[in-house]
Amino acid sequence: MAEIIWGLATSHVPSIGAAMDHHKTTDPYWKPLFDGYEPARAWMAAHRPDVAVIVYNDHANAVDLDLVPTFGIGAAGSYDVADEGWGPRPVPPVVGAPELSAHLVGELVDDGFDIATFHRLDVDHGLTVPLSVYCPDPGEAWPCAVVPVLVNVIQYPQPTAARCHALGKAIGRAIRSFPQDLKVAVFGTGGMSHQLAGARAGLINSEFDRMFLQAIESEPEKLAALTREEYIREAGTEGIELIMWLVMRGALSDRITRVHDTYHVPASNTAAALALFEDLGEA
């Protein structure tokens, strides 16, 4: 049977990928952020999964506003890297895990979640930057296959935090019921606090971010109880991406241990963070 071995929460700021792509990670502006990643990267390199289930949002690159599914899963054998206006990132294409994807879709539909299924999907920085945070030097291929899980955090009404946490629990059950022996990591991406437009453009709320970083481990229900309006008020219009961390946390068991975390302001105009948890399995 498949098992979840760790969960990673990480920001997916596009400039983080650009800093890696253009070899700027040791520049004074970026070095503190990337130094904070190093302990997690070393641990993850020693605990490699077969498949990463990556919860992210498309940024109108593969899914435009004509059709916005609340939740979707990629079921393809491979995913090209999206051209976001300046050419695709110079990273390998993403290899899929279609058997696991099909299993997740079936189990989630049976569990009461109406899932859109993507048989063709270009993946943007929302997915490739977290992969680079995990593996900065993939060479010709990423070290694991990927199941993309898309969440609408762009267009109102976004799913509630409680629904995202419940989806994560359903994903965890579905992964553990997959009959193949696979080691699986689950990524929750986006955030932390930031707002890109409007009167509060540039908003960063470090107090809320640090509360969230602690509560995601032991009090996810507290975070799941927050409304959309509370997320947007406290973390900014784009800070609502944090609900995707709750999908990751829901997929993990109750027995987790924090391996490493780091928090940095700013990465571009965003509060950026990473939190890595080892899943110790069901008691």
Q: Estimate the share of the chain in helix, then strand, then coil, as percent rounded to the nearest 5.
A: 35, 25, 40
How far is it, in rounded angstroms, from Cα 124 to Cα 84? Answer: 7
pLDDT, tens only, 173-206: 999 999 999 999 999 999 999 999 999 999 999 9
As beta bridge partners, residue 83 has 88
In terms of CATH, what superfamily is 3-279? LigB-like (3.40.830.10)
Predicted TM-score of the model (pTM): 0.98
Catalytic residue check, 194:
yes
Contact 153, 240 (CB under 8 A): yes
Mean pLDDT of the chain, nearest integer: 97
Kindly compute the dihedral angle of the four CA atoms of residues 129, 135, 136, 140, in this order, to the nearest 10 degrees: -100
Q: Could you tell me the CA-to-CA distances from 234 to 160, 175, 208, 239 in Å, in that order?
A: 15, 33, 7, 8
Of 12, 103, 194, 260, which residue is the catalytic one? 194
241 secondary structure, DSSP code: G
Going by C-alpha positions, the residue among 250, 253, 255, 258 that lies closest to residue 276 is 258
User: How does residue 282 score in pLDDT terms, banded at 50, 70 and 90?
Assistant: confident
Is the predicted pLDDT of residue 283 greater than 80, yes or no?
no
pLDDT at 65 over 90: no
Residue 130 tokens read as 């977290």
Which entry of 125, 165, 260, 264 is annotated as an active-site residue? 125
Asked if 10 contacts 191 with a C-beta cutoff of 8 angstroms, the reply is no
